[in-house]
Chains A and B, each alone.
Chain A
Amino acid sequence: MKLKVKLFATLRQYAPAEAREGEFALDVPQKSVTVEEVLRLCGLPEHAVTVVMVNGMVAAANAVIEEDAEVSIFPPLAGG
């Protein structure tokens, strides 16, 4: 299945060359996948990620992601 992945801030350095503004399609061989597995497939070091949102909702590491979902991945960040 295919997922839309978006990387933000310092994580953009891990995006593949063809990505635009940190966004790319991820091909996943199996039919379902967890957040944790997506991070691994994207080659993201675990400690570099704090928030993962699936279709705008914060998702835990073991959450299962459905086909065509939009997965947004953020490093530690803040502001005000």
Chain B
Amino acid sequence: MGGWQGRVLRLDLESGEAVEEPLPPAVAEKFLGGRGFGVYWLARQPVAAPLGPDNLLVLAAGPLTGTRAPTAGRVTAVTRSPLTGTICDSSAGGAFGARLKRCGYDALLVRGRASEPVYLVITPGRVEWRQAGSLWGQDVPAVFRTLRPLAGRSASILAIGPAGENGVLFAGAVVDGRRHLGRGGLGAVMGAKRLKAIIVAGDRPVHLADRHAFDFVCYEITKLLEANPITAQALPLFGTAVLVNLLNQARSFPTCNFRTSYFPAAEAIAGERLRAAFTVGRTACYACPIGCGRVVSLAGSRVAGPEYESIWALGANLGIADLATVIRANLLCNRYGLDTISTGGTLACAMELSARGLLPWELRFGDGDAVLALIPQIARREGPGAELADGARALAERYGAPEVAMQAKGLELPAYDPRGMQGQGLGFATSNRGGCHLRGNMLGPEILGAPKMVDRLQAEGKAGLLIYLQHNHAALDSLVLCKFTGFALREEHYARLLRAATGGDWRAQDLQRVGERIWNLERLYNLQAGFGPADDRLPRRLLEEPAEGRPVELAAMLREYYRFRRWGPDGRPAPTKLAELELGDFL
């Protein structure tokens, strides 16, 4: 079997045991890797308290990870989210996935809680448990400064900052100092396990079934990525922030906690401005020819620049039009290990509560200085930061106005206003990890016209398209490749990579089927965790106020969505659907 290494490593932080297990070939074929592996292992054990020792944290690579396939260095983390209570996966660039594979493992399964803070060093056939000592409490740049020289050249590092240690429910983890497992509070799960960092260092080869064919497909795919105007020009030149003006012009750019969907000052924080006034370089993840990461110059230093979601979350959604402030806020989130979208979403919620006179302290829309002062307080759970650290939903409930939290299943919504993109609204409501665009991004069909343009204000006909994208993204998250490759490649390209790597007869429709299997198993997990149809919803504002678009027609879209998925009125997949997807064991 090429592609997979065929081994996983189970780590128990309580007992200090590390046990190697074979990866069953049937699991590899049914779930691929990454997100698929994560949901497979989580669904096989009882639903656990997110911050308790029994919650499993899976860090998984895929069959292409560690090869020369474009973007094949990524890792996916899967766990039960402390912010949402759902299953949650998060994918990050950098080289952690590649190095994990090159240690000889397809996945790490971490459970338990260490008696004292630790960090792990994993090399082929060996796990070292080291006391975190004074690393505990250090911010992200300091941790990387300390660990990088110890780790060596063929290593990748994943670490949390103070926010994760302090149990901020939307704390993330950082890979190689600049890529983020952002959403859902994975950093808090690591913090609760007293796991500060993991270093993986290995150079073992990844066996390929047909190296010659594989090299040829990689060559062809790289050519396509280099010729496509999106992956060869727009993303390298402007980064993802190139979307700011587009979404704003489409009146789908949520502003001031989604009170409106058009930000008059968008040009001041747009990708064009970021490029002209701040950008001095770009960065790329492992084996990525696209390189969408930004290096910007701020007060004479070269620092990481913000991407689209962060510019929106810490800019337009807070009414902030000063790009230098947004860059600083983004850096602070990175430094403490906070998800920028949830940080922004929670601050926006606080601003609206304050504007309505419901908050006992003041926070005005547009007050950049206050935002810069609050971010470290959130990470330390100090002062007002303590109540912000549990996210927008908890904050709004605390002050008696739950509708002010712009979230779905507890996850703060990202930078698309569904009143201008009806299908994206259905995506937010049905996402298995809560309000998220990366489960099935309708940006393509609703705004960019890819693969074809559909009427973004119409609700009808969106369910089928969304379901296709949800399966496509679940498969990419399991391969594990960057979704941005999808702007230039088709499923057939990924299937060809898989054929050459694994020797199996993979076709485009097989990827759809794996995606559907993963989606339904995540759904089963969430049902088990107490979620039901009543949780497939959106904040009232999006259903009642038109902003510059139309209220989301969620009920009609959901009916169609359940019907297409063969889910009953109780939100449960029909037994025949589960049998068809070979998920009978999980009933």
Contact = CB atoms under 8 A, between A and B. Distances in A.
Interface of A: 6, 8-10, 12, 21-22, 50-51, 53, 56, 58, 72, 74-80
A12 B272 contact: yes
Contacts of A78: 230, 234-235, 242-243, 443-444, 448, 450, 484, 487
A10 B234 contact: yes
Contact of A79 (B250, B308, B449): B308
B237 A56 contact: no
Contacts of A21: 267, 272
- Listed from nearest, the 10 A-B pairs whose CB atoms lie closest are A79-B240, A77-B234, A76-B229, A79-B243, A72-B249, A56-B251, A78-B230, A77-B242, A78-B487, A79-B308
Contacts of A77: 229-230, 234-235, 238, 242-243, 246, 448
B245 interface: yes
A74 B240 contact: no
B273 to A, nearest CB: 8
Interface string B211-253: 0000000000000000011100111011111110110011100
B56 to A, nearest CB: 28
Contacts of A53: 249-250
Contact of B246 (A10, A22, A74, A80): A74
B387 interface: no
B68 interface: no
Interface in B301-323: 307-309
B28 interface: no
B441 interface: yes
Interface in B425-469: 437-438, 441, 443-444, 447-450, 453, 456
Contacts of B487: 78
B357 to A, nearest CB: 33
Interface of B is mostly: helix
Nearest to B234: A77
Contacts of B441: 80
Contacts of A50: 448-449
B271 interface: yes
B548 interface: yes
Given A8-B246, A77-B229, A78-B450, 6 more contacts: A10-B234, A10-B237, A51-B447, A76-B233, A78-B242, A78-B443
A9 B249 contact: no
Contacts of A58: 250, 447, 449, 453, 456
Contacts of A6: 249
Nearest to A10: B233
Contacts of B307: 79
Contact of A80 (B438, B450, B548): B438
A9 B243 CA distance: 9
Given A9-B242, A22-B272, A75 B234 contact: yes
5 contacts: A76-B234, A77-B234, A77-B242, A79-B308, A80-B484
B583 to A, nearest CB: 29
B246 A56 contact: no
Contacts of B272: 8-9, 12, 21-22
Find the residue from A6, A10, A12, A77 having the highest chain B CB count within 10 A. Answer: A77
B241 A79 contact: yes
Contacts of A75: 229, 233-234
B541 interface: no
Contacts of A56: 249-251, 548
A9 B228 CA distance: 15
Nearest to A21: B267
Interface string B474-517: 00000000011001000000000000000000000000000000
B292 interface: yes
Nearest to A72: B249
Contacts of A79: 234-235, 239-243, 292, 307-308, 484
A35 to B, nearest CB: 13
Contact of B245 (A8, A76, A80): A8
A10 B234 CA distance: 7
Contacts of B239: 79
Contacts of A74: 245-246, 249
A16 B441 CA distance: 35
A9 B240 contact: no
A13 B571 CA distance: 51
B448 A51 contact: yes
B196 to A, nearest CB: 29
A51 B449 contact: yes
Contacts of B448: 50-51, 76-78
Contacts of B443: 78, 80
Contact of B308 (A12, A51, A80): A80
A61 to B, nearest CB: 12
A76 B292 CA distance: 15
A51 B437 contact: no
A71 to B, nearest CB: 10
